[in-house]
Amino acid sequence: MILFCMVIMMKKINIKNGIKLIYEKRKNYITSFCIGFNAGALMENKDELGLAHVVEHMIFKGTNKRDEMQINMALDEVFGFNNAMTNFPYSIYYGTTLSEDFEKGFEIYSDIILNPTFPIKGFKEEIDIICEELREWKDDNFQLCEDEMLNNAFEDRRIKTCIIGEEVNIRAFTMEDIKRFYNKFYTPKNCTISVVSSLDFDVVQSIVNKYFENWNTKNFEIKKDFYEKNKAGKFVKKREGIQGAKIQYCFPIDKLDHKETTALKIFNLKFGEGTSSILYDKIRTENGLAYDVYSYIKNEAGIKLFTICMGTAKENVDKAIEITNNLIFNIDKIKATFTENEIKNVVNRLKLKRELKIERSIELSKELTTSEIMYGHQEDFNEQEILEKIGLQEIYGVIDKVLVSPTIQVLS
């Protein structure tokens, strides 16, 4: 059965072995696709931290048909852009080709994903590369501040340790660990493929079937998303050689429903996005405390946080926190900045940002795949309709619900 979704020309079907195929027609000369699995870091056991990311790397090391060099050459010849990514809730493999080259590109990725040989040759070197990636990750002070905040905020959630894991774990993994994780989670019923293309649906479906429908179905067990209440309070991490200080706040939003999360997006655009935001005006314009200050929402399965970030001088940390606390704990002052007319303006800005994002076919294909993996449907594609139904009371309600008991992390 074909399902017609909110986006024009979008179709969703199940291939006979259980793979979900999502398609959207675009009038251009390119095709973008994304192959994804519910095989991110959330699927790891406590002794496997970082394994999902290692598997993503090792899949590209060789197949029965191509060695690593041949894979790299084939990708460069066909793709204008291609990449892979492991996040907490998913692992995805994606790229863009000319539509006339879609089958060539799709065959390459099908070979990489379905037929990895996981050769021992190059394994140690790839582990070295991943450990170097981890060191570069930790060199980013904003990233380190976030990692420390999540580690202090939660006791048992996977997000308290970064996606890449820790070096001691990474270097302890064996090829058997990698094969076990791959065999457990890289299965047809755990796979979603999205294609945004100028090609007709029947052509795309035929190509996907050609390379994926004979992939044998395997049993798998997906862990349920786990959330817990954050530990409120202020935590300080010292780091030698850092210039200035970083501050981050987090508020869990896993208790919000879809309408409330949409209301939070309206609030956030006014509160912490852009140079006209409440946060920017108070912290930077009025008090000159930060060059960079903003807030954002992570509404992905297993994460779900509202976060405030800023960088300031070491001597201004206490003042910056005091002003931020005065903002978020004097809720009536924030509410007073919202009017029905202001909400309409913010809604229009959200619509524009949304359309600009999905205008790029590669971004749309990634979003179609990841949303299906996380929620079993297209979470944000009925958002335009919901936006029109949100007024002051919904905004006030989500402010009251979210802006309480933050975890505050300082890195200096």
Predicted confidence band of residue 1 (pLDDT cuts 50, 70, 90): very low
For residue range 317-336, list pLDDT tens digits in order: 999 999 999 999 888 888 88
Q: Looking at 47-56, 211-220, 245-254, 373-382, which range is the least confident one?
A: 373-382
Mean pLDDT over 213-238 rounds to 88
Mean pLDDT over 367-371 rounds to 95
142: pLDDT strictly greater than 70: yes
Which of these, 281, 276, 283, lies nearest to 249 by C-alpha position? 283
Quick count: other Cβ atoms within 10 Å of Cβ 353? Answer: 12
Q: Looking at 127-131, 231-235, 327-331, 385-389, which range is the least confident one?
A: 385-389
Angle between helices 392-402 and 258-271 (to 10 degrees): 90
Domains of the chain, CATH where assigned: 3-212 (3.30.830.10), 233-411 (3.30.830.10)
Distance CA 370, CA 34 (A): 9
Rounded to a whole number, what is the distance in angstroms from the first to the last CA of the chain? Answer: 56
pLDDT at 51: 98
For residue range 191-203, list pLDDT tens digits in order: 999 999 999 999 9
Q: pTM of the predicted model, to two decimals?
A: 0.92
Residue that the structure tokens 């002052």 belong to? 333
pLDDT at 198: 95
For residue range 59-99, list pLDDT tens digits in order: 999 999 999 999 999 999 999 999 999 999 999 999 999 99
Helices assigned H by DSSP within 79-222: 102-114, 123-139, 141-153, 167-172, 175-185, 201-212
CB 218 within 8 A of CB 183: yes
55: pLDDT strictly greater than 80: yes
Q: Looking at 281-295, 310-324, 384-398, which range is the least confident one?
A: 384-398
Higher pLDDT, 218 or 236: 236
pLDDT at 382: 63
Q: In the numeric block, which tokens belong to residue 211?
A: 């390379």
pLDDT at 156: 94
Higher pLDDT, 36 or 226: 36
Higher pLDDT, 345 or 254: 254
pLDDT at 9: 66
CB 142 within 8 A of CB 162: no
For residue range 111-140, list pLDDT tens digits in order: 999 999 999 999 999 999 999 999 999 899
For residue range 243-292, list pLDDT tens digits in order: 899 999 999 999 999 999 999 999 999 999 988 899 999 999 999 999 88
4: pLDDT strictly greater than 60: no
Distance CA 87, CA 130 (A): 15
pLDDT at 381: 64
pLDDT at 5: 41
Higher pLDDT, 385 or 11: 11
Q: Determine what percent of the chain is predicted with pLDDT higher than 70.
A: 96
